[in-house]
Chains A and B, each alone.
Chain A
C-alpha cells in the first residue's frame, strides 16, 4: 500500500439533465449547482460544518459569478469558512474539480471536499462586440459629459447586436461538430456505426432509467410548484431507421454527424462528496470507491480535437498499475458517437488494448442523457461509482474529452 492518503467518493447526486430552453430554463447555473450540492450533503448525511472546501466547474459562466464555487457556499449559507474555487477545462471541468479535490485530500490539506460542476445552456452569457464593450469601459472612466459621449465614437451600428458565446474553436475556427466530422473521416467511422452507437446509448439509458439505476443518481428539483425529475433527452422510441433519416448538420454534402448521434445542449449540475479514506472509514461509511489514479493529456486541436482521452487513458492505467483488460466498467463521455468510436480505434492502434464495448456506458452516455458541459465529469464519475458498487466491480475507468484538445481519464477502485 502506498503511504499516501487516498480520496474516496462518499456519494454523488445530480439534477435531472434537461434539454436547454425547457423545464429548467428559468433556473440559473447557481440554482442548479446549489440543488445538486445541497442534496449531496443531505444524502451523504454530512454536516456542512465538516466540509473543508468546494471545487466546482462551469464553462459558460455568467458574468456575475466570478467564482461560482464560492457562490454555492454563500447561497446555501454553508459555513463561510468553506473556501471554494472554480475550475475550468471546458467539458472536462468537473473532472478537474474531482481530481483537484482528490489531490487536496491526498496531500492532507483537506478531509472533505465537494466537487462537481454545473451548466445552464439556457442562460449563456450574451455579450457585445469588443468595440462596444471597450467604449462602455472608456465612458465609465471619463470625467466629463463630452468625454463620455466621445467614448462611443467609432462604435458602429452593427456593434449593437448581442454576441452569443463562441461555439468555434478559437485556434482552428472549426465548430465542435466540424471537428468531430474530421475525426470520423480520419478514423473511418461510418454514419451507420455512429447511429448504432447513438441507438445503443438511448436504449441503455432507457433501461437504466426504467430499472432505477440512473434515477438513483438524480434528485428532483422542486421549484415554483413544479417538479423536474426526468432526464428529458432519452428517446425510448427511436430506431436505427429513424436515426438514419436525420440530415447531417455540419457537413451537409458528405457529413455523418446528425442531431441524433451527437450530445444535445443540456441544463444540469452534478456534485460528489470526496472524503479522506480515514475519515470515511471512521464514520462507518460503506461502499467506498477510491480515486486510484488519473491522467490528463492534450492534442493539437487542428488534428483530432476530441481524441485526447485515448492518450490519457493509457497513462492513467499505467499509474494505476492496470491494463485496459483489468477494467470492468468504463464511463466515456459521448460528445459525439464519432468521437467515442474514434477513441476506441486510436487506443487499439496505439497498442493500449481493445475496448470491450459491453463494458462501456452500460446505462448509456451523454448522447442520450445530455451534456451540461461543466457537470458531465461529475455525472460520469457518479454513474461509474454507483454501478461499480452494484456490480462489485473492482476497477472502473472514466474519460472525458474537452474543447481545446484536452482529455481526462480517471481510474476508480471499489474498496473492500
Chain B
C-alpha cells in the first residue's frame, strides 16, 4: 500500500528562513498519520535541498500545533510489527531534523503532545505561545502506550532523567509557562509575537546538542551510572505500586529510557519502537484508548435526543457544604457568576473558606493563573436569604440528602426562581421524581449527581426524569460540560446508574463479612484487582449513614430485601465511618486498622482469607447490575456506562469499563460472562443471575 504524502510542505521565506507548514487537511488537530509522516519527511528533504539560514516548524491550525499520533492508527487490524514501523518512521523524521545543517525551531501555538512534542524536541529551539490552548508533554502512558517517536530518548537528554521520568510516567501536560519553568521550551511569548520570536531564533540561534539536564545535579542523575540506577529504581518501585501490575506502559517506558542511557540512543530507539508495537496491540492500551475516544465523543454524545444548549453564565448553588462549595468552586473556576446560599453565616462562611482555599491552591500549583484564581473567588457571592437566585439560569440544590429537606428547599427555591430557571438537584440516590413530586414546575427539575471531591472527580451524572423538558436537561448537560466534567445522561430511578451499581457491589462486600471474611482481605482483594479503594474503606469514606441510606434506597428500588446487613448493624451501633474515627476500620491519625468491633457486632470470626474469586465475582456483580441498568433504560448507552463507571467510581480503567469488560470477558477468561454469572448464582444466590442482555450474549460495543 502506497501512502500519498499530505499535510506538510516546505516554504522558503524572503529573509532566508524557511518554514515547514503543518496543515493536515482532514484533521483540525494535525494528528500524525502515515500521509503526514510521509509529507513531513518530504518537506524536510526539500528544506535540506533549499539550504535556508534557518527552519521553523509551524502549524496552520489555530490553537493546535500537532496533537500526537492519530488514534485511528491503532485499529484492530494493525499488527505489532506495523505499529513499530510507524514508530520508526517518526524516529527517522526526528533524526532527519537533527541532521539538518541549519538551526531548527518549533513554533508551538497550541497542543504539542506526544508525537507533536517529539517533533518539537527534535528541533534546536522551542518557542511557545502564552495561550491557554498550549499544552505540552508526552501523555502516551495515560493511554497505555509510551512515547515512541524518540520521546523516551530525547526528553531525558533535554531535562535530565528525574524530570523526564516524572513527565513521561505521569503523562503530564504542561501549560506554556510551566513548560518553560521545567526547561521543555526555551521561550514563551505572546501569541501575536510567536512568528517573530521563532524567526529571530532561527536566524540567530545555533545548532545545539542535548546535554541531559540544565544543572550539574540533573546531568549527574542522567549520566552517572550509580545515580541513574537510584532514579530508575525509585521510578520502577513507584510504577509497580501504582499500577499493581495492571498497566504495562510505565515499566516499558522506564526500560526504554534505561536502555537508551546505558547502551546508546539507537538501542533506546529500538526498544521504544518494539515496546510501542507490543503495547499498542495489547488489551490495556486498546481499552484506555477506547475510553479516551469515548470521552472525546461524549461532548457531543451527551446531547443525543437533546437540543443544543448554552451553559448558564449565572448559577445559583443552595447548600454550602462539601458538595455545594465544591460545585460553586468548579463553577467559579469555569467563569460563571455564582450565588451561594446556606441557612446561616457560619455555614456560608465555611463554604466560602473552602472555595477560597481550593482556588488559591489551584493558583499556587499553577493549575490556573494566580490572578485568575483571585477573579474566580470574586465571582462567588453569598447569602443566607433567597436573593440573587431569580437571575440564575441554573440553580443547583446541594442540601442534605433527605427527601423532606430537599422537597422543602425546592419549594422555597421555586418561589424565588425566575421564569426560565432550571433547578438541578444534586443527589446520589434519591429519585428525582420523588424530589419533584408536588413541584410547581417539574418540567424544569433535573438531577445532577456530582462526585466528591468535586474539583477532582471528572464525571457528572445528569438524571433526566420523565417530567423534565429536554431543554432543561440540555442546559444542565451544558453546565456540567462547562465545569470541565464528562457528562452522562441517565434516566431516573433509585441510585440512577452509578450509585445503584456501586451500592449493589458494596452491599455484596458487606455481606461477605458475614461469611467470616476479614475486612482487610476483602478490600485488599479489590484494590489489587484494580479498584482504587476497597469497598469497606469506601463505605467508611462516604460515611456509614450515607452508605446505609443510599444502599437502602437502591435495594428498595430494585426489589431486594436484605434482612441482615452489616452496614445497618454498624449504623445502629452508632458507628459513623472515617469522619467519626470508627467504621469498618479504626482511624487514628493517618493510620487505619480493621475494627474488631465489627466482628463482634456481626458475630463472625473475621479470619477467613479472601479467595482469588472474590474480586472477579464482585466486579462481575457490578457489571451485571450495569447491564440491568442498560436493559431497563436507566442507561442510554454502553458508552455512558463505561465512562460513568470509570470516571465516577474508579472501575478499573485497564478493563475499559463494565461493558467493554463484558465484551472482552470470554477473550480474557475463556468462558462467557453469562456462564460465569450462572455459576456464581448457583454458588452464592440468584442475585448473580445474568441480566437479559448478558444472557443474550450480544456484544455491547459493536
Contact = CB atoms under 8 A, between A and B. Distances in A.
Interface of A: 34, 38-39, 42-43, 45-49, 74-77, 220, 222-227, 229
Contact of B381 (A39, A49, A226, A227): A39
B378 A75 contact: yes
Interface in B355-393: 374-376, 378-379, 381-383, 387-391
B378 A225 contact: no
12 contacts: A42-B339, A45-B388, A45-B389, A45-B390, A49-B313, A75-B375, A76-B378, A222-B349, A222-B352, A224-B353, A225-B350, A225-B353
B337 interface: yes
Nearest to B349: A222
Given A49-B313, A222-B349, A225-B353, A43 B388 contact: yes
B572 interface: no
B379 A76 contact: yes
Nearest to B335: A77
B124 interface: no
**Closest 3 pairs (CB-CB, A-B):** A42-B388, A45-B390, A45-B391
Contacts of B339: 42
A230 B368 CA distance: 35
A41 to B, nearest CB: 8
Given A46-B391, A77-B375, A220-B345, A38 B418 contact: no
A38 B380 CA distance: 9
A229 B345 CA distance: 10
A227 B375 contact: no
A39 B376 CA distance: 16
A162 B339 CA distance: 42
Q: Is chain B's interface secondary structure helix, strand, loop, or mixed overall? A: mixed
Contact of A225 (B335, B349, B389): B349
B123 interface: no
A31 to B, nearest CB: 9
Nearest to A30: B378
Given A49-B313, A77-B335, A226 B379 contact: no
Given A42-B387, A42-B391, 20 more contacts: A34-B378, A38-B378, A38-B381, A39-B381, A42-B383, A43-B387, A43-B388, A45-B387, A45-B388, A45-B389, A47-B313, A48-B313, A49-B313, A76-B375, A77-B335, A77-B378, A222-B345, A223-B352, A225-B353, A226-B349
Contacts of B353: 224-225
A224 B374 CA distance: 14
Contacts of A39: 381, 388
B311 to A, nearest CB: 14
B314 interface: yes
Contacts of A74: 375
Interface residues of B, number: 25
Contacts of A38: 378, 381
Contacts of A46: 391
Per DSSP, are chain A's interface residues mostly helix, strand or loop, or mixed? mixed
Interface centre among B349, B376, B389 (most CB of A within 10 A): B349
Nearest to A50: B391
B348 interface: yes
Given A43-B388, A47-B314, A222 B418 contact: no
| Residue from A38, A39, A48, A49 with most neighbouring chain B CB atoms (10 Å) | A38
A11 to B, nearest CB: 10
Contacts of B335: 77
A227 B347 CA distance: 11
Nearest to B382: A222
A38 B379 CA distance: 8
B678 to A, nearest CB: 58
Interface string B306-328: 00000001100000000000000
Interface in B17-58: none
Nearest to A46: B391
B382 to A, nearest CB: 6
Nearest to A13: B387
Contacts of A223: 352
A56 to B, nearest CB: 16
A46 B376 CA distance: 19
Contacts of B375: 74-77
B313 A227 contact: no
Contacts of B374: 75
A156 to B, nearest CB: 40
A42 B339 CA distance: 8
Contacts of A229: 345
A39 B378 CA distance: 11
B391 A47 contact: yes
Nearest to A34: B378
A47 B316 CA distance: 13
Nearest to A43: B387
